Structure 1
């Protein structure tokens, strides 16, 4: 087997690393934090097929090194491997959990959120001038791209505003592969404690939200007397929704603004009505998606990916950043941001197959509304710092920058 590539825990060159791994082979050996051996699949066709292969599982009982005691007890990525919920469930368990959570993301319910999202986006944009520093600069990530999706997912889940900032900080520690293992584990414990408080509050004061619905499902028994949902599955589902429901959309909005700032001719096309905000969102998802590499899937038998052996029980990263710019799928200009790109190969930014992101329609709606509202008020918005100088979001899972200082352009 080839020499394994150490995954950079700081994520300092996500796209460059993704391209190097993709061009090396469809599946490459990597070293995960803590010295844990793994692999990554980052070519578009091979990743798409891998995500739907029935010989590939999500539950960590198939994680060979973990079952053999070869994973550190304190491990940065344990939350991704060991959380109880949809992302680590297979078969009937996955269908059961996904079916319950899907109630919050029906097309009707998502469409009904549009007026509320538009109102929240308008309020946040109106507040931006008052948040600028003496030089007229505001951190768009902190003041707009973050509170919009966090407000939306919190409303869906019934999370009290008092918990939101803390949940965001804990989420940051969970997804940052550069966090010390002890800090990541402590964040995991605390976020479960916060979510337990949310569940207790919703149990006492149920409402029209997903948490209340999950509690009701938890309290109902099946016909055979077994539980429909365990306490661990309730909190695990909420954890997934909090992380995926705001962190990815936050990165998506941030990355779209960065892309448009770096490609003013593309922005002109949208502002003139020659291209749509939907096209901006889709091209951003392909070209600079919010998730670079997502943990984990485990082959349940030895299998080959384009001639490369992926041994049974190997933790495999889904290399979305590499797949998004794969020239085999998108042609020789795959590295170019182009919102007029003809329809063709569908990107994998939201996954593929049974574990395709439930919240994808909501994320698309939020990002489209956010960009239209933001540029409708501030069409001359411009970055205050060159993109290359912006601090990267630490880690190789999330893909964005930690800050986005901009001038509003008058």
Structure 2
């Protein structure tokens, strides 16, 4: 086993971490584009790493052209996941640019890519070559189906892996057309697993001095999120269908209509259900054989929902939310995104800082708070294509840092 990293390099990492987050001092080389890879490297940046975004000359990451566009004519979508990175445009087929890229590889801790499996090898930078030339480098590959298996070469987008994983089969309402989740969780979950894997690989490297290949498949990331559906099939032999806002093993756990709007209530335990019945002024619900235990409530969810909504219809959602909060029953309003952004809890925590020079655009920061630190008051601005060439070239040549 190789010796762990010690001496000046370890001191540099520890000192940098004390200044700017737990990953400060680490350098991430980002070959990815659109969402899964850029979201992963955005999280690494938020945790303190320096991220060099390598883009195609003249075009850049295709997400630079995704709607909606800000008043400055820049993609707000691209800005949300690429703020704070440093951009250089390199033609990976041109000898001069490949030489620059290899200089950067020699100084980087992590390389992130989301090409189809085999593309990186065709470029001459497969893991076998990287492992021999840069043994301490961590390579993270995000793809639709992983680096092995019969589907490895297939293209995949978020909706494809949501459909193939079974995620779409449990989303939406019965007797409705298939529904994709409202956010690109196929991309985003793969990004989060990759971010976790990268940090574990860096921790391992601190003990061994060697990097490794982190292989994350979007399909498998979706499968890993089926926390209730897979056990359901195991126990019953039947695939669950779409359940709307309900939970397959708890009731009441759903969206309920009040006089003016919907709210959600999650009162699956006997204790919470008793408290809910008291708030509704219907204590007899607790002794009703249909609702007296969790299994009975799940079996009779439709009847239970009718009883609850009969009571909720007498007053607006705000009235009931106040009473439910006082009684300790988990409940919340049915916010749209704009309402969420105005919520006092969201504002107090500062999860949506403004992007510098971004026409007032706000974006969520990686939602992890470390002791002694809070969320940043402002997010760094979005890089222009090839904006940081001179800075990155100096870094690649060992003549400066990325600050």
- TM-score tier (shorter): under 0.3
**Based on CA coordinates, which of the two structures has the bigger radius of gyration?**
2
**With CA pairs under 8 Å and 6+ residues apart, which has the higher RCO, 1 or 2?**
1
Looking at secondary structure, tell me which structure has more helix per residue: 1
**TM-score normalized by structure 1?**
0.23
